[in-house]
Structure 1
């Protein structure tokens, strides 16, 4: 624990007194203690770490990178950073595209590169259920690949290169209709707090903190390991298809039918990951879909409206292992574009898909008709069964009420290569979200919620959690475990009630 004098000094610094140490001096302190774990510009592996982000727009240049070898090293390093009042960002997978939320130009980057533990823990154990010890640096494809020979899986991400920190934002899974958010399936977190304490956080040890971590990001500490429930997993049916632009209207109709009462979503074994790409310069819409059915059933009825659509490119269809299907998304690890995205939420209706697609096209034609790149939307249907499963599986701070029906997340994105287009893409996305929300409010289809994993930098998610009831609880928990507000003031990210704090 920090001494009383140190706490007083840190408190004064956090509330406006400048630290006596420069970041360069702090990097030297870290290097003296941790030697090879500190990387500086020009040193071996520095570039690999600072460029280990999916979006080129997230590539920053921290004065040094700290790559702790284990949890104790991380805890000791955090003590130095807190004592010296130094900004520090934390990166695990690096897939979120928002500039400055998992890196920094003016602080220390903590890269969780060495936290790659993978271990199956059977019964009996203190947590009361079989689980998988999942290091913070692991990618979901690696996790499924490790578990598959054992006939097991966990409820995790859908895209191969996405990292474990998806769990801190909730996380959509191919099993979410049956088991809720991915975060509902965490049974324990190993957490380093602002004081440098190492906590095993679960429903028995720290129930308030355990609840808070299931969707509230990096506001409470640094997670080094996620212990996840395992379940037996056999073969599944799935397909990955891209349709010609001439099939866009049929794809939109199939999405609407799937969401409607009596539609395919009522079979809880089914899951969709749709996306529609739009290229403004050629006025071209390209719909695509990954669909998963949690049973070895060829062409299940739940997907009939999609499988009936002709003119498609088949990227992989049939009964297969989960790993084989997820491997089809491995291309998302390519680091070739600058990405930005924003999200909004819409109630299910016959008008939902037309609003989502038509507004995107209209705003793109108006603002970026010759955009040197592409834009699009991932149309994420979140069903009432998904939300009911989340509550039944331990609950979470998001606490979306299944009695309000399902919700449709529209993740709007822009991808391009020229940094000069950053402002253009940002203006397009903010205008698009405003235009969509004006329409949905006018039609009674607005759903007040922003899904954490898809946030844009100007969005504030926590005010909508639990219909507004979760945020006061989250603030109390934050003050309890981080009384000096280190993770609110020194660590970039989406902060409790204050919007985004970035390290750019």
Structure 2
């Protein structure tokens, strides 16, 4: 009897020890270090500190217990099995361009950084490029440009591949649709550690779900992007407009959304209104691209040059050069906050929103380094149709019918975190007031683009109850123990189902 009591007591000690391991981040990091001695950075080391702060926005910086930098899909698979067995909380970081706390980092957990997974293998005869999850967009362009090929990916060179599980607007979107609709295959590590391919033939439901479903189903380790042929260099750059020209630029925005982007499939424009608090000045910087080997803008884009402007840098360029050039003035480490919503294209609403945003921004002109930015990006009927033709996605855009949608982005930047507690809630309230105005005028479309959303905006819920229910069915199939809901707490998680 005594021996049985002793055995029970020792069993209890073992059980308590195991319980501590499942709840203790240091224990998870110790186990990870044993398994991957060359891939784990312990807290407060130089490498840990460098990676901890390596984010576009200071709002994304948290305090991970350790940082894991896998070299391969097999490393990720082994690590995910370890995380599942020991109930370790973790995050997944690609390029680190989200401003949302927890989207790519974590407090008291493991931050898995994909930066060593830099594969860019081109298969021109098969029409795709195979890229690792740590690749930056400029590296994809650099691989493709010499072969007169490109891909439907993001526009700024320092961005990673988070857009490939979010949405993704591209230079080619007017012709080919969103980035998620031009992915041939996802290589995914599931909660069990199993590695699967997800495409139109294998794991088709998972393929659909990943095209907007974020980090809720597994760790994507590699992406296969379809390639598109290009005629060498393309024509693009920036046009800088003064405040006195903004009303005419606003007219061009509506024309671009409803005519130029619809009729000119090789066009791309992304007007950016910028407010500079230090000068109390508003101006416009418009990246303009014509995806053809020409020496000047074609007639459909000529109106952009007819509006009085300060300067232009339009010139023949490679896509690598274009992606680096457009990214030059986007520094890292400042406070960045962004919010977004979607409307049916409406000229008056576009103008009213810009006027109201400029007026609101002036309340903060004395905040050091304060900048505001407003973008208005079209999703045309063709873009939506391309998604349907290529297997569909969960975004819920097909209900727009034959109308162009405008994705309205509102961003603010400043230097000193002491202002966060005041400015960020005010920014939230302002954008919500614009959403309310859009609803009142009957132009609101219920889509929140995940890659531009704010920290408390319900992007996945905006896809609609039917799509959310289907995402949950996929989640239960591929992650029946809810690992990616419970142990990957950051980013946009699946919202409650409509029938619960």
**Equivalents in 2 of 1:264, 1:76: separation in Å?**
46
Unmatched segments (≥5 aa) in structure 1: 1-12, 124-128, 500-504
Match for residue 7 of structure 2? Answer: none
- CA deviations on 1:412-448 (whole Å, 9 max, x unpaired) are 1110111111122311221121111121111111111
Match for residue 12 of structure 2? Answer: none
Whether the 8 Å CA contact 2:460–2:468 is kept in 1: the answer is: yes
Match for residue 426 of structure 1? Answer: 424
Question: Could you tell me how far 1:355 is from its partner in structure 2?
Answer: 2.5
Question: Could you tell me how far 1:393 is from its partner in structure 2?
Answer: 2.5
**Equivalents in 1 of 2:87, 2:106: separation in Å?**
15
The correspondence for 1:206, drawn from 198, 203, 206, is 203
Partner secondary structure for residue 494 of structure 1: coil
Q: Highest Rg: 1 or 2? A: 2
Whether the 8 Å CA contact 1:275–1:289 is kept in 2: the answer is: yes
Partner secondary structure for residue 222 of structure 2: strand
Question: Could you tell me how far 1:43 is from its partner in structure 2?
Answer: 2.6
Whether the 8 Å CA contact 2:150–2:228 is kept in 1: the answer is: yes
Question: Could you tell me how far 1:29 is from its partner in structure 2?
Answer: 0.9
Match for residue 29 of structure 1? Answer: 31
Whether the 8 Å CA contact 2:120–2:140 is kept in 1: the answer is: yes
Question: Could you tell me how far 1:456 is from its partner in structure 2?
Answer: 0.5
The RMSD of aligned alpha carbons is 2.1
Match for residue 458 of structure 2? Answer: 460
Q: Does 1:242 align with 2:244?
A: no
Whether the 8 Å CA contact 2:261–2:380 is kept in 1: the answer is: no
**Equivalents in 1 of 2:262, 2:281: separation in Å?**
28
Question: Could you tell me how far 1:245 is from its partner in structure 2?
Answer: 1.8
Q: 1:435 to 1:107 in 2, by over 3 A?
A: same
Q: 1:18 to 1:277 in 2, by over 3 A?
A: farther
- CA deviations on 1:458-501 (whole Å, 9 max, x unpaired) are 11122222x432111000000110001111121111111159xx
Question: Could you tell me how far 1:216 is from its partner in structure 2?
Answer: 1.0
The correspondence for 1:339, drawn from 325, 336, 339, is 336
Map 1:224-239 to 2 at 5 A: 224-234=221-231, 235-239=233-237
Question: Could you tell me how far 1:161 is from its partner in structure 2?
Answer: 0.4
Map 1:403-482 to 2 at 5 A: 403-465=401-463, 467-482=464-479
Q: Does 1:170 align with 2:172?
A: no
**Equivalents in 2 of 1:264, 1:185: separation in Å?**
19
The correspondence for 2:57, drawn from 55, 73, 82, is 55
**Equivalents in 2 of 1:377, 1:82: separation in Å?**
42
Q: 1:18 to 1:351 in 2, by over 3 A?
A: farther
Map 1:187-198 to 2 at 5 A: 187-198=184-195
Question: Could you tell me how far 1:369 is from its partner in structure 2?
Answer: 4.9
Match for residue 485 of structure 2? Answer: 488
Q: Does 1:356 align with 2:344?
A: no
Match for residue 142 of structure 1? Answer: 139
Q: 1:299 to 1:138 in 2, by over 3 A?
A: same
Match for residue 268 of structure 1? Answer: 265
Aligned residue pair count: 476
Question: TM-score, normalising length from structure 1?
Answer: 0.90
Q: 1:97 to 1:498 in 2, by over 3 A?
A: farther
Whether the 8 Å CA contact 1:89–1:108 is kept in 2: the answer is: yes
Unmatched segments (≥5 aa) in structure 2: 1-15
